[in-house]
């Protein structure tokens, strides 16, 4: 069955258009509520959001949908996605909802759903809910309509949980840390958690106005945090995205430390402590070959999955890993959270900085990345990857890189784009390979 609404991470799109309207949000609430009406207890959903202007509209629509089928609603307000996952479990809710389009601009929004265990929904659950979106669902009788209430201590609960991911003897006294919250969901909780552990905190991206989320700040636009670290003489900068499930770090020189380097650091730390499960780390096909070689040199493995933190998590759960992530900054530490949590990952990095006594530039750059190049080819229609000439040039490139690099070619799951990525020890060879494939794809799509 094809998917009309759910993509790789919930439902996402331009607000007031397509799949992201108030009418559809209400229908999602009705469908998800109906799907999770299991058992005789009073049913409950928790709903959080980031700081987008459209969050108000979608929040109210979802409340209407859930209450109309008899489910009570607990409103948490602006909080990171991992906080919603945590509080879904803590509040014994039947389902959790995060209203966010993550690192996208404010014009987009999305709906992410969590089951009662705090994990993102399975394919089966999403397909069942999607099927209901085209049906007339039974509404609750008047006496059974749900109620909605807002709780005021949700931020404190999450901050307490985040700090609990560190040993009691770890303090951040003496560290000056720049925290960039992307004007998003963590604008209150992330700086508070770091400050409560003793650090001097310099905040940027903490003045959301509904339209400035991810705008020239956060993990996808590092200029602001990098400049602030260098100008203030800070020891390190941490940058989150709009819903705070991603983390990118900059060292005291303002240099970027991406998710691959962070996985190398956290994985090494856990392994040295005897706490790394699965014998290695789970990442996607996009993670740099340098990470794989580094881990192999430490006697650890790198298990690769398709792109998307959801695929990483599935592999982790299936094979007993407790650390996984993406080059883009998703960090999943299953000992502490059920989904990517940028703030928890940041605290692990800061703890390592404290224990090492080294500057961030020395601690965090554990391997030299292999030259890697990614290009996107947009096409009007059809299946250019099925073209014989395209397949031939791909086969030739794979043979050329064999043993010395990698080639990853994949269609986008959300737009008519072919993504072509190659990496290898020779940057010129990598560029030539990518250019040849992109040119051939473009010819086939013309």
CB 405 within 8 A of CB 421: no
CB 425 within 8 A of CB 404: yes
Q: What is the pLDDT of residue 176?
A: 98
Are 336 and 378 contained in the same domain? no
d(CA 268, CA 273): 9
Are 392 and 331 contained in the same domain? no
Written as six digits, the tokens of 116 are 């009662």
Decide if pLDDT at 415 tops 80. no
Are 418 and 295 contained in the same domain? no
| Mean pLDDT value across residues 293-314 | 95
Q: What is the pLDDT of residue 207?
A: 98
In a domain, 265, yes or no: yes
d(CA 185, CA 175): 24
Residue 4: pLDDT band with limits 50, 70, 90: confident
Residue 280 Cα distances to 132, 266, 363, angstroms: 40, 11, 20
Are 28 and 115 contained in the same domain? yes
Q: What is the pLDDT of residue 413?
A: 66
In a domain, 383, yes or no: yes
Interaxial angle between packed helices 342-356 and 189-196, expressed in degrees from 0 to 180 and rounded to the nearest 10: 30
pLDDT in tens, 207-246: 999 999 999 999 999 999 999 999 999 999 999 999 999 9
Q: What is the pLDDT of residue 379?
A: 86
Q: What is the pLDDT of residue 197?
A: 98
In a domain, 426, yes or no: yes
pLDDT in tens, 424-434: 999 999 999 99
Are 11 and 129 contained in the same domain? yes
Interaxial angle between packed helices 123-132 and 22-35, expressed in degrees from 0 to 180 and rounded to the nearest 10: 120
d(CA 394, CA 392): 5
Are 319 and 376 contained in the same domain? no
Residue 180: pLDDT band with limits 50, 70, 90: very high
Q: What is the pLDDT of residue 2?
A: 59
The burial of 170, by beta-carbon neighbours within 10 Å (0-12 exposed, 13-18 middle, 19 or more buried), is given as middle
Are 12 and 109 contained in the same domain? yes
Decide if pLDDT at 381 tops 80. no
Are 312 and 388 contained in the same domain? no
Domain extent for 263:
257-340
Residues contacting residue 325 through CB under 8 Å, at least 6 positions apart? 259, 262, 263, 281, 282, 283, 309, 312, 331, 332, 340, 345
CB 301 within 8 A of CB 1: no
- CATH code for the domain of 83: 3.40.120.10
Half-sphere exposure of residue 160: CA atoms within 13 angstroms, side-chain side: 8
Residue with tokens 């740099």: 288
Are 293 and 385 contained in the same domain? no
Instruction: Give the residue numbers marked as catalytic.
Output: 102
Using the 3D structure, point to which of 118, 134, 152 is the last residue of a domain.
152
Residue with tokens 């949908």: 65
Residue 43: pLDDT band with limits 50, 70, 90: very high
Quick one: which of 30, 110, 38, 27 has its CA closest to 67?
Answer: 30
Furthest-apart CA pair in the chain: how many Å? 70
Are 119 and 56 contained in the same domain? yes
Are 318 and 384 contained in the same domain? no
In a domain, 206, yes or no: no
| Mean pLDDT value across residues 165-179 | 96
Quick one: which of 137, 104, 303 has its CA closest to 220?
Answer: 104
CB 67 within 8 A of CB 147: yes
Measure CA of the first residue to CA of the last residue in the chain; give whole Å: 29
Are 315 and 378 contained in the same domain? no
| Mean pLDDT value across residues 112-136 | 95
CB 434 within 8 A of CB 381: no
Q: What is the pLDDT of residue 1?
A: 44
Quick one: which of 341, 317, 327 has its CA closest to 291?
Answer: 327
What sign results for the dihedral spanned by CA atoms 332, 334, 339, 342? negative
Decide if pLDDT at 374 tops 60. yes
In a domain, 61, yes or no: yes
SS3 category, 173: coil
Q: Where are the alpha helices (DSSP H) in 1-69?
A: 22-35, 55-68
Using the 3D structure, point to which of 152, 168, 190 is the last residue of a domain.
152
Residues contacting residue 177 through CB under 8 Å, at least 6 positions apart? 194, 199, 200, 201, 202, 234, 235, 236, 237, 238, 350
Interaxial angle between packed helices 342-356 and 154-163, expressed in degrees from 0 to 180 and rounded to the nearest 10: 40
% of the chain residues with pLDDT over 90? 91
Q: What is the pLDDT of residue 412?
A: 78
Across the chain, what does the average pLDDT equal? Answer: 95
- CATH code for the domain of 434: 3.30.310.50
| Mean pLDDT value across residues 261-285 | 97
What sign results for the dihedral spanned by CA atoms 262, 268, 272, 273? positive
| Mean pLDDT value across residues 317-332 | 97
Half-sphere exposure of residue 321: CA atoms within 13 angstroms, side-chain side: 26
Q: What is the pLDDT of residue 444?
A: 85
Give CA angle at 35 (32, 38), nearest 5°.
130
What total number of domains does the chain contain?
A: 3
CB 342 within 8 A of CB 262: no
Quick one: which of 401, 402, 403 has its CA closest to 429?
Answer: 401
Q: What is the pLDDT of residue 7?
A: 86
In a domain, 347, yes or no: no
Residue with tokens 């994990």: 119
Does the reported pTM lie above 0.85?
yes
Written as six digits, the tokens of 177 are 């840390």
Residue 84 has phi, psi (to 5 degrees) of: -70, -40
Q: What is the pLDDT of residue 172?
A: 97
| Mean pLDDT value across residues 339-347 | 98
Using the 3D structure, point to which of 134, 152, 170 is the last residue of a domain.
152
């Amino acid at each position: 069955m094809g998917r009309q609404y759910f993509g790789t991470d919930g439902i996402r799109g331009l607000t007031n258009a397509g799949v992201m309207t108030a009418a559809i949000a209400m229908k999602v609430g009705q469908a998800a509520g109906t799907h999770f009406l299991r058992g005789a207890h009073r049913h409950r959903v928790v709903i959080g959001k980031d700081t987008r202007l459209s969050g108000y509209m979608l929040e109210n629509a979802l409340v209407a949908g859930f209450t109309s089928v008899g489910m009570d609603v607990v409103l948490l307000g602006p909080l990171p996605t991992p906080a919603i996952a945590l509080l879904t479990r803590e509040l014994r809710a039947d389902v959790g909802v995060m209203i966010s389009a993550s690192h996208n601009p404010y014009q987009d929004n999305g709906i992410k759903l969590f089951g009662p265990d705090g994990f993102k929904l399975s394919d089966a659950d999403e397909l069942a809910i999607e099927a209901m979106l085209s049906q007339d669902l039974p509404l609750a009788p008047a006496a059974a309509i749900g109620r909605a209430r807002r709780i005021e201590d949700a931020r404190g609960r999450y901050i307490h949980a985040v700090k609990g991911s560190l040993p009691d003897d770890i303090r951040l006294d003496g560290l000056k840390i720049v925290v960039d919250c992307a004007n998003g969901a963590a604008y209150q909780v992330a700086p508070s958690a770091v400050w409560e552990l003793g650090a001097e905190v310099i905040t940027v991206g903490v003045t959301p106005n509904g339209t400035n989320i991810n705008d020239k700040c956060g993990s996808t636009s590092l200029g602001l945090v990098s400049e602030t670290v260098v100008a203030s003489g800070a020891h390190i900068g941490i940058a989150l995205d709009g819903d705070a499930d991603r983390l990118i770090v900059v060292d005291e020189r303002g240099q970027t430390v991406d998710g691959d380097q962070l996985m190398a650091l956290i994985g090494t730390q856990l392994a040295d402590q005897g706490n790394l499960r699965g014998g290695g780390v789970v990442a996607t096909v996009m993670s740099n070959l340098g990470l794989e070689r580094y881990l192999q040199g430490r006697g650890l493995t790198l298990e690769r999955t398709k792109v998307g933190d959801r695929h990483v998590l599935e592999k982790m759960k299936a094979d007993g890993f407790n650390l996984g992530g993406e080059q883009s900054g998703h960090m999943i530490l299953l000992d502490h959270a059920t989904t990517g949590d940028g703030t928890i990952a940041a605290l692990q990095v800061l703890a390592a900085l404290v224990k090492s006594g080294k500057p961030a530039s020395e601690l965090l750059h554990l391997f030299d990345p292999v030259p890697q190049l990614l290009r996107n080819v947009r096409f009007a229609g059809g299946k250019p990857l099925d073209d014989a000439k395209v397949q031939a040039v791909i086969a030739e490139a794979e043979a050329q890189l064999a043993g010395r690099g990698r080639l990853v070619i994949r269609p986008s799951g959300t737009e008519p784009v072919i993504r072509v990525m190659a990496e290898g020890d020779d940057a010129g060879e990598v560029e030539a390979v990518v250019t040849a494939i992109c040119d051939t794809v473009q010819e086939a799509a013309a």
